Amino acid sequence: MSANLVAATVRSGLYTRIIGKRIRFFQELTSTMDTARECAESKIDEGTVVIAEFQTSSRGRLGRTWVSKPGNLYLSVVFYPNRVTLPLIGIVAALAVKKSILKITGTRPDIKWPNDIMIHGRKVAGILVESVMMSDQIKYAIVGIGINISLNREEMGELGSIATSLNLSLGYEVSRENLLRTLLQELDSLYFDIKKGISPIQEWRESLNTLSEKVSVAHGGSKIEGIAEDVDNLGNLIIRTDDGNLVTLTSGDVTLEKNDAAR
C-alpha cells in the first residue's frame, strides 16, 4: 500500500499565480473530472486543483477508461478560458507534464499528438480536456491529468505493452510531491503565457514525436493514413494522405507506423 500524497510538502515552495492557489485532496473519488466540474459549477477560483489518490470511474480520451491505482497522480484543474486560450489548454498541460518530468528526473519525454506523454515509445501520462458551453459562451473547462508513477506491469494489465510508469521506466522511485509541485508551477507559467498571447505551439511542435512520420489515425469510425506533415496554430494535425490530399484532424488516435503499439 503506497503512502498518501503529503499536502504540506506539495504546498511548501509552491509559488504560483493562478494554478494551485487552492488544492483539494481526496482519498477516493469517482473521477477528479466530476468533482472539478462541481467546483466549476459553483464558480470556484480559476486554477483550483482537485486531486484523488484513487478514482473508481476514471475516464480517458475518446470514451476510454483510465487505469487508476493508489501511488500515481490523478488531478483535474478548473479553467475559465476564452476562445483563444481554450484550444491551447490541453497543449500547455502536455508541455507542463513533459517539462516537469524532465526537471524532476532528467529524462526527456516526447509527446504523441495531441497530448500523450511518452517515454521510450510507451505512454506514461495522458491529458483529458472537457469544456462546457452555455449558449455560445464558454462556461468552463476542466483539464484532467493522469501520470503513471508507481503503476506496475500487473496493474497495467493488457496495456502493459503500450504503457509504462515513471518508476518502471527509470528504475527508481520518483517523488510524487516534487513532481506535482513542479507540474503546477510549469502549468501556471505556460497558462500565464497563453493569457498574454504567447503561443505554445512551436515548443509543443518541437516535442511531438509524430511529425514527418507515417501514421494511421483512427478518427470517428474511420482510419486516415498518411504522413503527419505539421500541426496548425490551433493544434490540429495536418496529414498528407497517400493520394496527395491534405486532411486536417481536430482529434483522433495516432499509431506511428515505425514503432507502435502505443496509443
17/64 with CB nearer ligand BTN: 64
Closest distance to ligand BTN from the beta carbon of 150 (Å): 14
What dihedral angle (degrees, nearest 10) is formed by the CA atoms of 217, 223, 224, 228? 10
Nearer to ligand BTN, 197 or 220 (CB): 220
Closest CB to ligand BTN among 59 and 176?
Answer: 59
H-helix or E-strand spanning residue 38 = helix 32-41
- Could you tell me the smallest distance in angstroms from the CB atom of residue 134 to ligand BTN? 23
Give min distance, CB of 67 to ligand BTN, in A: 9
Which residue's CB is nearer to ligand BTN, number 70 or number 227?
A: 70
Under 8 Å CB-to-CB from 192, ≥6 apart: which residues? 17, 18
Peptide bond into 109 cis (omega under 30): no
Residue whose CB is less far from ligand BTN, 47 or 144: 144
Residue 23's DSSP bridge partners are 49
Which residue number is nearest to ligand BTN in terms of Cβ? Answer: 126
Residue ranges in contact with ligand BTN by CB under 6 A = 31-33, 55, 58-61, 64, 66, 74-76, 116, 126-128, 144-146
Minimum distance, C-beta of residue 32 to ligand BTN, in the bound complex (Å): 4
CB of 76 to ligand BTN, least distance (A): 5
Closest CA to 98 of 112, 82, 126, 117: 117
Residue 176, classed as helix, strand or coil, is: helix
Residue 46 or 193: the one with the smaller Cβ distance to ligand BTN is 46
Provide the minimum distance between the beta carbon of 11 and ligand BTN in the complex, in angstroms, as a whole number.
Answer: 20
Toward ligand BTN, which CB reaches closer, 130 or 193? 130
| φ and ψ at residue 53, rounded to 5 degrees | -65, -35
Cβ 26 to ligand BTN, closest distance in Å? 11
For residues 199 and 234, give the distance between their C-alpha atoms in angstroms, rounded to a whole number: 10
Helix 89-105 × helix 176-195 angle, to 10°: 140
Backbone angles phi and psi of 165, in degrees to 5: -130, 165
Residues 6+ apart with CB under 8 A from 245: none
CB of 245 to ligand BTN, least distance (A): 28
Q: How many helices (H) and strands (E) does the chain have?
A: 7, 12
Which is nearer to ligand BTN, 82 or 161 (by Cβ)? 161
CA distances, 83 to each of 40, 136, 234, 262 (Å):
18, 10, 11, 31
